[in-house]
Structure 1
Amino acid sequence: MRSIAVPGTTTPYTQEMLMIHRVFRREAAQLLHFVTTTGAGDVSRARQVAEAVREYIGGLHHHHGVEDELIWPLLHARAQVHDDLVIRMEMQHEALDVTLTTLQGLLPRWEAIAGPADRDALAEALTDHRQVLLDHLGDEETLVMPLVEEHLTTVEWQEVGRRGLENVPRSKVFLALGAILEEATPEERREFLGRVPLAGRMLWRIVGRRRYQRQMAALRGGAV
């Protein structure tokens, strides 16, 4: 996630955060569907879905780690009148960490035998996680992003975006880009791709988009 100010303004373009949040909302719902529709004893499918859950967990951990390090301290220092909101964000991150730890602990047994009881336990944990996630993302978007626009500089916001991409392996860049663009509006897509270097845009159009579609088809099958 890279960020610049909208032309003619000097405030961070926080719409990008909403684009990232769409990815987590979509993946949390899809992973729950993938788990509940995996047949008893289908170890191959369980392993495939478990790997997707682990990638999701790693991505959410990294996303929140960047916020913990680069956003909340600045808002604590500059928006003290709204400190209660920032503290709420931090507490929600802690609650989400608990749900992710639970998910991580349930994966090995389920992917080993794909038993129905383990599947149901994982589905319940994903349901609990998703509710905490949705509450947090909604609060962050409506209550905290306006504070970011007011109290962070565009340079500081750009650093948030740069750090957000740091742990994406080169082999998964197209996967990350496709996930962000999948539900983007035409305006958001133009804005986002407009800041990708020309070579990257060409690779995305020639190779990346189809690669992303193939990867998603392999994971989703007939699921939407």
Structure 2
Amino acid sequence: MSATSTPYTQEMIMIHRVFRREADQLRQYVGAVRTGDVARARQLADVVREYIGGLHHHHSGEDELIWPLLHERARVHDDLVSLMEKQHEALDGTLTEIQRLLPHWAATAGDEERDALVAAFAEHGRILHQHLADEESLVMPLVEEHLTLLEWELVGKNGLERMPKDKVFLALGAILEDATPQERAEFMRKVPLPGRIAWKLIGRRQYRGWRASVRGEAR
């Protein structure tokens, strides 16, 4: 349980940081792949697919557990909730285009295929950044006002239960990467003790290894 009786919507901002960072970095990484470097293209294609799956997963939770409640309880702000739904549809369109282009680039690492994918990521990022900013500034205050703490925590629980077990530590590492000490403490406080121990013993190293492989960093 949270220390407050209202939803801790800062969690949503922490998750949004991940999608902003990953979308921007993936566009840069794809753009930096040398012509013909199929091995790197295939590696990044797998990461792009994971990103797409993660964003779909995140948005489906909002579509199922947040927007219907706000439509029901915050009818005076129905236009804002409808805007979120329309932005989700627009983002789905950009992801569909990325998915269409991805196999061609992964197979060839060609210049034209790479440039088309970078352009698709640029358009995706433009819509994503606008959507996340609107959601944080316009809709999270409605969540704090109209959703109960239990309803909000169900969103997080639903997301965790639907996540592939082998991706949990990668997701946790991504969320904690740019978190402030206060955000980190609040987020980890909700993780059961066995999970916190596993993160320290296994998960943190797993995430660093994945990050080094994708970004070309020293571990």
TM-score w.r.t. the length of structure 2 is 0.97
1:52 Cα deviation from its structure 2 partner: 0.6
| 1:16 matched to 2:28 | no
2:30 maps to a residue whose letter is V
2:48 maps to a residue whose letter is V
| 1:159 matched to 2:154 | yes
CA distance in 2, matches of 1:90, 1:18: 18
1:213 maps to a residue whose letter is R
CA distance in 2, matches of 1:189, 1:38: 34
CA distance in 1, matches of 2:75, 2:96: 31
CA distance in 2, matches of 1:92, 1:154: 26
Q: Would you say the 8 A contact 2:104–2:113 is kept in 1?
A: yes
| 1:59 matched to 2:54 | yes
1:206 maps to a residue whose letter is L
Q: Would you say the 8 A contact 2:105–2:113 is kept in 1?
A: yes
| 1:73 matched to 2:90 | no
1:222 Cα deviation from its structure 2 partner: 4.3
* Runs of 4 or more above 2 Å deviation: none
1:195 Cα deviation from its structure 2 partner: 1.4
CA distance in 2, matches of 1:203, 1:10: 29
1:117 maps to a residue whose letter is E
The residue aligned with 1:121 is 116
User: Which is further off, 197-206 or 103-112?
Assistant: 197-206
CA distance in 1, matches of 2:179, 2:49: 24
Q: Would you say the 8 A contact 2:211–2:217 is kept in 1?
A: no
The residue aligned with 1:147 is 142
Correspondences of 1:94-133 after superposition (within 5 Å): 94-133=89-128
SS at 1:177's partner residue? helix
TM-score w.r.t. the length of structure 1 is 0.95
CA distance in 2, matches of 1:172, 1:85: 32
Which of 19, 24, 36 aligns to 2:31? It is 36
CA distance in 1, matches of 2:126, 2:9: 23
Which of 198, 203, 207 aligns to 1:208? It is 203
What's the Cα RMSD here?
1.1
CA distance in 2, matches of 1:202, 1:175: 15
| 1:199 matched to 2:194 | yes
